Structure 1
Amino acid sequence: MSPKERLAELFEQIAELTGQRNAIDARIVDIVAEIDHGGLAGMTGARSISALVAWKTGVSPRNAKTIAAVAARGEQFPRCVAGLREGRLSLDQVGVLAERAADGSDDHYVELASVATVTQLRKAVGLEPRPDVSPKPQPERGISRTDHGESVTYRITVSKIEAAKVDAALAGKRDGLIADWKRDHDQQPDAATGTSADASTPDADTDGPHGTSEGGADRLEDNPVADAEGVGGESHADAEGFGGEFDDDFADLTDGHGGEGEGAPRAPMPTTVDAFMELIATGWDGEVARRPHAQHTTVVVHVDVDKQVGALHLGPLLTDAERQYLSCDATCEVWFERAGRAIGAGRSTRTVNRRLRRALEHRDRCCVVPGCGATRGLHAHHLRHWENGGLTELDNLVLVCPYHHRLHHAGGITLTGPAHQLVVTDADGQALTNASLARPPTQPPPAVAPCKGPTGERADWWWYEPFQPQPPPRN
C-alpha cells in the first residue's frame, strides 16, 4: 500500500470516528437540555449548568459552556442540532451558532455549517447586522500582559472618566515621591556647600514639588489607554520604560552633581513607574489587611441559654442555619442571657487568624466542594461548629466559596470532617467526588454516516450575504 493510499484509509477512519463522536455529543446535549429544562441541576449543588457539565464529563470549562449553550438554544436551531445528531456537524460548529447567531437563523446557517470551519462560522456570524444601541456603549475595559523575558508590558484600556482617576492618582503619588526625594537630598551634610539638589538647580521649584507639569496629568487626559510603556499611548518611555514626557519639567533636577558629593552615586528621581508601583504596593497592603473574610464583619449575637434561641444585636431572631452561617468565619461577639439579662460573654478567639488562613489556602487551594474550584472570596468553615465546641484549628477548618457555604448551612450539602478525611454529601446523603462519570462504553457506537468535515476552501466574503434578522412588527 502506498503512503497516499494509507493516508486516505486513515482519513476514512477519522471520518467514521468523528461522525460517531458528533452523534455522542448530540446525545450528551440532549441529556443536559433535559437536566436544564427540568430544573434538576439544583439538587447537585453545582453553581451552573456549565459547571455541572465540566464536573461530570471531565471536559474543560470552555467546552462545557459550548455544551450548555447548545442545550439551552437547541430549540432555536433544530436543523443544525439534527445535523449534530446525524454526525454531519461537530459540537463546536453548532456551538458557535448557539452562542452568537441571531434567532431564526437556523435555515440560513445549516448548509454553510456543513462546509465551513469553526473560524469561518464565527466570521459569518460576526457579519450579522447588529441593532444600534443608544446611547453608544462605552469601550470595553481590558488589560493585557506581554512577557518579553526580562521585562513585562501591561496595557490597560479604561474609559475617559476612569483614565482621569488614573492620571490624578499617578500625578499625586509621583509629586509626593518627588517631595520626599527632595527633602532627603536637602538633608545631606554638603547641602550648605551648594552641591545639594536645590542649590545646583535654582529653577527646580518654579512650580514647586506639587506644581503642574506640562507633560503631566493634562496630557494624560487625552488618551484613556494606559500601559507599562507609557501612561499616554503617544508618550515616549523614560529611563524606567514608563511615563515619557510626564517628567520633562523635573528633568533638570537629575542633571549636574549629586548631593552626596562629586562622583558619588545619586538616588534617581522618582518617575511615573515609581508612582505606579507605589500605588500597587499601597493597594496591595490594603487588600492584605482586609483579605480574611473574618475581618469583613463583626456579628453581635444574643443567645438565651434556657430557650436556646439566638438573635442579632438590635435585630431579628435567627434560625439555627443563619446563626451558624454568620458566626462561622466572622469576628463574633456572643452574649449569653437568662431571663432577659446578660450573664456573660462568650470567647471570641474562634476567628481564623492570618497565619491559619495562609495554611488553609496552601492546603485547600480552592473550594473543597467537588466540582466547584472557586478560588476567590473563600470562607473558612468550621466542620464542627464553634458553638458546639469545635476548635479553630487546621483539622476542623476547610475553605468553601460563599455559594456552597450558604448551601451547606441551608441543608443542601453536608461537610463531615476531619479535614484530611473530608466527606461531602448532597441532600440525599450521596457522596460527591471530583471524578467524572466517564467509563468504558457498554453499547455499540451510533450508526451514523462518516463525517467528511469542512471542505477547507478559502471563504470569499465579498459574495457572502449575511443573515438579515426580520424587522420587528409595527402596530
Structure 2
Amino acid sequence: MFDGADPSSLADEVLEARVIGYAAQITALTAQFFAHVAVLEERRSWSGPGISSLAQWLSWKAEITQRTAHEQVRVARALRGLPVIRAAFAQGRLSYSKVRALTRVATDVREQELVNLALSCTASQVERAVRAMRQIDAANGTDEPVAPRESAGRWKWNADGTLSVSLRFTPLDGARFLAGAVRAEYERTRTVSDDDLPVPAGVPRNAAGALETVSGEPDSEVRPANRRDLWRHVPSNVAPAVVAMADMVHEGIAMPDLAPGAEILIHAGDGVESAHLDDGPALSAAEVGEASCGAARREVLSARVSGRPGRLALLGLGRKKRAPNKALVKALFVRDRCCQMPGCERTRHLHAHHVVLWSAGGATDPDNLILLCGSCHRALHRGEFGIAAHGGQRFSFHWPDGAPIDVAPSMRAPGQWRPNADVASDATVPVGGGRLELGYATEVIYAVWEWKERNAAAVAA
C-alpha cells in the first residue's frame, strides 16, 4: 500500500521494488483509462462546440497532446474486440507500450499467441516482432491495404532555443530534397569567378545542365578542385543548404498581406524582457541585428496593458469602422494565434468576432475582438455558448446556463488514491527475457495461426 515514504529514505532494493510495483500499478490504471475512453467514444458525450473528435477532447480535458490522444483512441477502439489482451492489460501484465504494438496486428484469433509472446519479451522486442509480422502479412496479402507512402515532417523548439526538424520523405521526394540541397549549397558557396568557368570542349552535361566527369580525365581538368565535391555529392551537413533554400523561397515567392508564419516576427519593446521570435525562443542582440537585414521580417511592439506585461497594445478603430483593418487583423493573429474557444485550437479560416455585437454598440478594438473559427462562430450565434469581455483584452467563455467553460481544466484526482492490491508488484516484468529469436518466434506463431485457420475451415465445412 502507498505509505507516502520519501523515496530518498528507502534502501536500494526497496526503491527498485517500488519502481517496478508502481510501473505495474500505472499499467493497470492505464487499462482502466482505455476502457473508459472506449465507452466515452461509443456515447459521443464529448462532442460540443469546437470539439470535432474525442482526441481533441482528450487534448483539452486531459492535457494530452493531440498526436498522443489520436493513438490512444486507436488503441481503445482496437481493445474492444481483443478480450485476452484487454485482460492482461488490466492485470498489469502487459504494459501500454506492448499493448500499443500488439493492437497493430492482433485479431481475436491471433491474440492469445501474441500475449504469450509479449509476456516473455521486452517492449522493444515486441515492437520488433510486430514490425516483422506486418511485413509478413503485407507479403502474404493478408494485411489490410497499406496506405500510399507520404512524406512527413515535424518541428519543435528545444529548451536551449534551437529548432529540431524531423523529415521522412518518399523516395522521389527524398531525391528532390537532396537535389535541391546540392543546388542550394552550390549557390551558397559559389564565387563571382564561378559564373565564368571555362568548360573544356567535349565535356558532357547531364539533364540539369551540370558538368559530368569524362571517363579517363581527372576531375581537376573538368572543374576547379574546390568545386568538385559540390558538383558531385550531397553535403554531409545539409543545414546551411536548407537555410539557403528557405532564403530563396522567401525572396522568390510573393505572399498576401495577411499570411501568418510567412514573416519572421520579432517581439520587442518595453513590455518584453528580451527580444524573441513570435512563439519562439529569445534572440541575442547580434541575432536581432542579423534579422534586421532580412526583408521578410517584421517587429511586433508589445507594451504593458492594465499592468499585464507582454499584452499587445493594439490600435483599435472604435465605432468608426465595423471591419478591422489589415494591421489590426495581423495583430489579432499574433495575439490569439488560433480559435479562442477552449479546446478548439484551429488555426485556419478564422473570423474576427465582435464580442459585443457591432449592431449593439460594440467597438472595433482589441478589447472587443476575438478570433473564432467558422464552426465555433456559427455555434456562438446559435447560442451553444457565450463570450464575455472584461476589458484589457481579457475574455471568458460560458455555457448557455451560465456555467464557465474552463480554458485549461485542472487535473484533480477524485479522493485519496491508493494502489490496487490485486495487481502483482512484478506484473510488468517479462517472464522469460533474454535474446529474441525473431525468425523462430514468428515461424512458430504463424504455424499456430495456420493450424487454427485449417481447423476453422474444417469445422465450417
Is the alpha carbon distance of 1:378 and 1:239 closer, same or farther for their aligned partners in structure 2, counting shifts above 3 Å? farther
CA deviations on 1:15-71 (whole Å, 9 max, x unpaired) are: 332333222222222222111101211137423212222322234445433432232
Is the alpha carbon distance of 1:412 and 1:111 closer, same or farther for their aligned partners in structure 2, counting shifts above 3 Å? farther
Aligned to 1:382: 354
Indicate yes or no: 2:44 matched with 1:39: yes
2:155, 2:163 within 8 Å by CA — same for their partners in 1? no
Residue identity opposite 2:105 in structure 1: A
In percent, how many aligned pairs have the same letter? Answer: 25
Indicate yes or no: 2:157 matched with 1:140: no
Indicate yes or no: 2:426 matched with 1:459: no
Of the three residues 372, 376, 397, the one matched with 2:369 is 397
Aligned to 1:450: 424
Secondary structure of the 2:16 match is helix
CA deviations on 1:427-452 (whole Å, 9 max, x unpaired) are: 55432211234235345432323242
Of the three residues 366, 369, 380, the one matched with 1:408 is 380
Mapped to 2, the partners of 1:153 and 1:415 lie a distance apart of: 38
Is the alpha carbon distance of 1:50 and 1:33 closer, same or farther for their aligned partners in structure 2, counting shifts above 3 Å? same
Pairwise mapping of residues 187-336 of structure 1 onto structure 2 (< 5 A)? 214-215=205-206, 217=208, 244=231, 276-277=245-246, 279-282=248-251, 285-286=254-255, 288-291=256-259
- In the alignment, structure 2 segments of 5+ residues that lack a partner are 1-7, 212-222, 234-240, 262-318
Of the three residues 129, 132, 138, the one matched with 1:131 is 138
Indicate yes or no: 2:78 matched with 1:73: yes
Aligned to 2:69: 64
CA drift of 1:411 comes to 3.8
Mapped to 2, the partners of 1:462 and 1:81 lie a distance apart of: 27
CA drift of 1:464 comes to 1.4
Of the three residues 8, 22, 25, the one matched with 2:30 is 25
CA deviations on 1:166-220 (whole Å, 9 max, x unpaired) are: 989x99xx99xx9xx99xxxxxxxxxxxxx999xx6978x9xxxxxx92562679
Of the three residues 403, 409, 421, the one matched with 1:435 is 409
Mapped to 1, the partners of 2:115 and 2:62 lie a distance apart of: 27
Mapped to 1, the partners of 2:357 and 2:206 lie a distance apart of: 59
Deviates more, 1:399-408 or 1:18-27: 399-408
Mapped to 1, the partners of 2:260 and 2:364 lie a distance apart of: 14
Mapped to 2, the partners of 1:135 and 1:77 lie a distance apart of: 21
Mapped to 1, the partners of 2:87 and 2:146 lie a distance apart of: 39
TM-score, structure 1 length as denominator? 0.57
Aligned to 2:236: none
Aligned to 2:398: 425
Secondary structure of the 2:48 match is helix
Residue identity opposite 2:436 in structure 1: A
Is the alpha carbon distance of 1:355 and 1:130 closer, same or farther for their aligned partners in structure 2, counting shifts above 3 Å? farther
Residue identity opposite 1:89 in structure 2: L
Indicate yes or no: 2:107 matched with 1:103: yes
Of the three residues 343, 348, 359, the one matched with 2:331 is 359
CA drift of 1:394 comes to 0.9
Mapped to 2, the partners of 1:273 and 1:437 lie a distance apart of: 42
Secondary structure of the 1:40 match is coil
CA deviations on 1:243-262 (whole Å, 9 max, x unpaired) are: 6369xxxxxxxxxxxxxxxx
1:366, 1:399 within 8 Å by CA — same for their partners in 2? yes
Residue identity opposite 2:15 in structure 1: L
Residue identity opposite 1:459 in structure 2: L
Deviates more, 1:53-62 or 1:137-146: 137-146
Secondary structure of the 2:434 match is coil
CA deviations on 1:123-166 (whole Å, 9 max, x unpaired) are: 1111112336899976532458899x999999773564997799
2:106, 2:114 within 8 Å by CA — same for their partners in 1? no
Structural RMSD (CA): 5.2
Aligned to 1:233: none
Is the alpha carbon distance of 1:364 and 1:80 closer, same or farther for their aligned partners in structure 2, counting shifts above 3 Å? same
CA drift of 1:382 comes to 2.5
Aligned to 1:368: 340
CA deviations on 1:99-132 (whole Å, 9 max, x unpaired) are: x224333212222233333322221111112336
Is the alpha carbon distance of 1:241 and 1:116 closer, same or farther for their aligned partners in structure 2, counting shifts above 3 Å? farther
Secondary structure of the 2:441 match is coil
CA deviations on 1:210-249 (whole Å, 9 max, x unpaired) are: xxx92562679xxxxxxxxxxxxxxx9x989996369xxx
Aligned to 1:339: none
Mapped to 1, the partners of 2:377 and 2:121 lie a distance apart of: 46
1:87, 1:448 within 8 Å by CA — same for their partners in 2? no
Mapped to 2, the partners of 1:58 and 1:202 lie a distance apart of: 60
2:28, 2:423 within 8 Å by CA — same for their partners in 1? no
- In the alignment, structure 1 segments of 5+ residues that lack a partner are 183-195, 207-212, 221-235, 247-271, 294-346
Mapped to 1, the partners of 2:436 and 2:354 lie a distance apart of: 59
Residue identity opposite 2:231 in structure 1: G
2:352, 2:371 within 8 Å by CA — same for their partners in 1? yes
1:25, 1:91 within 8 Å by CA — same for their partners in 2? yes
Pairwise mapping of residues 334-345 of structure 1 onto structure 2 (< 5 A)? none
Rg larger in structure: 1
Aligned to 2:264: none
Secondary structure of the 2:387 match is strand
Mapped to 1, the partners of 2:404 and 2:91 lie a distance apart of: 36
1:139, 1:159 within 8 Å by CA — same for their partners in 2? no
TM-score, structure 2 length as denominator? 0.59
Residue identity opposite 2:123 in structure 1: V
Mapped to 2, the partners of 1:359 and 1:424 lie a distance apart of: 22
Residue identity opposite 1:439 in structure 2: A
Is the alpha carbon distance of 1:87 and 1:413 closer, same or farther for their aligned partners in structure 2, counting shifts above 3 Å? same
Mapped to 2, the partners of 1:130 and 1:7 lie a distance apart of: 45
Aligned to 1:157: 169
Is the alpha carbon distance of 1:454 and 1:65 closer, same or farther for their aligned partners in structure 2, counting shifts above 3 Å? farther
